[in-house]
Chains A and B, each alone.
Chain A
Amino acid sequence: MRERTDGGVLLAYLAKRLVELTAVVFLISILAFLLVHLLPGDPSVAILGPFDTPSARAEVLRQLGLNRPLPMQYLTWLGNVLHGNLGRSFLTKQTVATTIGEAFPIDLELVVVSQVLAFAVAIPLALVAARRPNRALDRLATATTFGMLSVPAFILAVLLALVLAVEVHAFPASGFTHLSNGVIPNLKSVALGSIALAAGSVAVYFRLLRSELISTLQEDFITMARAKGLSTRYILMRHALRPSSFSLLASAGINIGSLLTGAFVVEYLFQLPGIGYQIIVSIDSRDYLMVQGMALVVAVAYVLVNFAADLLLGVLDPRVRRG
């Protein structure tokens, strides 16, 4: 019976979040649709730019259905989107869906590599620092990460490029090597980008986890675990880490969401053709339908990732389920 109540709470929570989710996705679709209307002047002129020919203009107007009332245009557009038809680039003639399909794995790889790096550094460091707060090591790590918060990813990327690519030639300064050309060249090609992305995450994760750990270590259940005669290491790993990691996970969820949906600067700087890169390239070439389609998909993906992170948090922390 208790299980059923618990499940009931979880279901109600799920339902509430699903309603929110639907509302947000609906709103995103309207905004993405209206985006084209932000363009100054006749959208077809802006969209086509230098490729403005009468037949192309007619094609744009037909595709956008611009001669009909706005709500009708929206419904038609939404219908197309729901059928997976996000439009087609005027430039490359490639569909938006294909481009996303090619770009997304690169984002995924960047996220996985950078987050693995970030966790591998931040978690052990926080455990060591929180064990003896305000001692030399903790002060050093805390000050360093505070400084790292003031190093934007693009500055770090420039420094990395300068030192590791230009001076030492350890890594390629730009470009992506596909996995089919070998694991090592592939990892090398995303290394600098991943480090640039990981650094900011390390700082945030370390600071969150450290302060949570310090307050968790003051809890009665830690004293109780000590009274059982368990080792400090065991207590840190098995009793303190998990209840301290929820804000870390929440922040990782948000972080992963925003990295997945475009690590714009890092991808652009290191020429890694992920989603962020594609969006910027499309903006540069005034390929506005491409931008619109990708922005829509990416924004929805972001919302979904955050939703999933929230649910995961609910599963991991039995206290959340109490409602």
Chain B
Amino acid sequence: MRSRAGWTSSRTTRHLIFPPVDQALGPMLEVDGLRTSFRTPRGVVRAVDGVSLGLDRGRTLGIVGETGSGKTMLARSIMGLLPAGGRDRLGVERSGTVRFAGHDLTGLPPAQLRQVWGTQIAMVFQDPMTALNPVVRVGRQITESLRLRMGMGRSDAKETALALLSSVGIADPGRHLRSYPHELSGGMRQRVMIAIAIACGPRLLLADEPTTGLDVTIQAQILDLLADLQRERSMAMVLVTHDLGVVAGRADETAVMYAGRIVEQAATAELFAHPLMPYSQALLAAIPRLADAAGTRPKPIPGRPPDLASLAPGCRFAPRCPYARERCREADPPLVEAGSGHRFACWYPLSLEDADTPASDLGDSQGEA
């Protein structure tokens, strides 16, 4: 079904695979103290509030959080693809550093940053219905970056687009090149979007809720497709989702975001086995499981994420946390390391006795205000 015919052998392949990554350089992505805030009529909204993370080549990082936790804005901020000012956004400010393959992206002027987009870092957007231009044929939406960014001629670009469409599992690619987005099904649109994202052979793929709105079977197909493409092209990937079920077994590491911050990060299996932060635990409890008895419903998390324009002191999750105590409402817990790369931000972590290190030996804090 996902035929990759001609993918590795065709003449066009040379354009697609980025030159081998220089192993002497450090990790693919290093984010340090990243902050993004919007000035709005209601005040300053800190959408991303001091996020630090790293991602190695070819690896996958899951970023999980509820709607409004800032995960989409984090992905945009990493890329530097921030929305222009609008009616309710008077201005955008970003600080902190983003290093991509050793190069600092935050200081780049727009024209140079643009050279990185598409060819080095690409993004798969949440909703293919709105992210594909409704009045431009699918073919041109794929070939335009090949032609403008990779300097391909018309026929080369078309050939490559055909190969890309079949590589993302679209049958009869020749016909679909001439289609408009609305003529495709939801799953096909998402495949087209992925084809566009990988067209110029990026080394880092930011996938923002790539399967939201698709039915479960198609979700699995799209996620498998992303994993296959990632393996073939040794891309690093950031998989942003509200559904912990999506990152299970697919992300090497998973970071949980809440109110603009990372509140817990660990190897995915570790996070699922030993969540330390009550919010992560609540998210885990919200995953529907096959093993659940018929009729049991996943537990939703009561309450709503805080208003980012007016934050109360203390832990941001405290108002919704069943274990919150006095200290949680007074002081903001720092993000600390519990050994083996398991980071969390909580004064009274869960099941810490199961973790490798006792709480007293916690490493230095990061990402504090």
Contact = CB atoms under 8 A, between A and B. Distances in A.
Contacts of A82: none
Contact of A227 (B79, B132, B134): B79
Contacts of B134: 221, 243, 318-319
B149 to A, nearest CB: 6
Interface string B109-131: 00000111111001101110011
A235 to B, nearest CB: 10
Contacts of A228: 117-118, 122, 144-145, 149, 196, 200
Interface stretch (A113-121, A193-201, A212-220): A212-220
Interface stretch (B80-88, B247-255, B333-341): B80-88
B348 interface: no
Given A229-B119, A322-B182, A223 B144 contact: no
Given A221-B132, A239-B133, A226 B81 contact: yes
B7 interface: no
Contact of A219 (B79, B118, B130, B180): B130
B21 interface: no
A224 B114 CA distance: 12
A51 interface: no
B131 A229 contact: no
B148 A234 contact: yes
Interface in A241-296: 242-243
Contacts of A231: 114, 148
A318 to B, nearest CB: 5
Nearest to A219: B130
Nearest to B145: A228
B116 A229 contact: yes
Contacts of B311: none
Given A229-B115, A238-B144, A322-B182, A224 B132 contact: yes
Contacts of A224: 123, 125, 131-133, 193, 196
B136 interface: yes
Contact of B118 (A218, A229, A238, A239): A229
Nearest to B116: A229
Contacts of B130: 219-221
A184 interface: no
Contacts of A229: 114-119, 145, 149, 200
A225 interface: yes
Interface string A1-22: 0100010000000000000000
B183 interface: yes
B25 interface: no
A317 interface: yes
B135 interface: yes
A226 B144 CA distance: 12
Interface centre among B79, B119, B148 (most CB of A within 10 A): B148
Nearest to B136: A239
Contacts of B196: 224, 228
A218 B182 contact: no
B186 to A, nearest CB: 15
A2 B178 CA distance: 12
B86 A218 contact: yes
Given A228-B196, A229-B114, A223 B131 contact: yes
A23 interface: no
Contact of B117 (A220, A227, A243, A316): A227
A228 B118 CA distance: 4
B83 A227 contact: no
A211 B127 CA distance: 24
A136 interface: no
Contact of A230 (B79, B131, B148): B148
Q: Which of A218, A224, A318 has the most CB of B within 10 A?
A: A224
A224 B126 CA distance: 10
Nearest to A224: B131
A238 B123 CA distance: 20
Contacts of B126: 220
Identify which of A218, A225, A228, A319 gathers the most chain B CB atoms within 10 Å of its CB.
A228
B192 to A, nearest CB: 11
Given A226-B81, A230-B148, A221 B116 contact: no
A219 B127 CA distance: 11
B116 A243 contact: no
A128 B126 CA distance: 30
B183 A2 contact: yes
Interface in B145-165: 145, 148-149
Contact of B145 (A2, A219, A230): A230
A218 B83 CA distance: 8
A248 to B, nearest CB: 14
A105 B288 CA distance: 72
Contacts of A218: 83-84, 86
A77 to B, nearest CB: 46
Given A2-B183, A318-B180, A227 B133 contact: no
A223 B83 contact: yes
Interface centre among B117, B119, B126 (most CB of A within 10 A): B117
A231 B182 CA distance: 25
A15 to B, nearest CB: 22
A220 B127 contact: yes
Contacts of B135: 242-243, 316-319
A227 B115 contact: no
Contacts of A217: 84
Given A227-B81, A230-B144, 7 more contacts: A221-B131, A223-B131, A228-B117, A228-B149, A229-B119, A239-B133, A318-B182
15 contacts: A2-B179, A223-B83, A224-B125, A224-B133, A224-B193, A226-B81, A226-B114, A227-B122, A228-B118, A229-B114, A229-B115, A229-B145, A238-B144, A318-B135, A318-B180
Interface of B: 79, 81, 83-84, 86, 114-119, 122-123, 125-127, 130-136, 144-145, 148-149, 179-180, 182-183, 193, 196, 200
Q: Which 4 A-B pairs have the closest CB atoms?
A: A229-B118, A229-B117, A220-B130, A220-B131
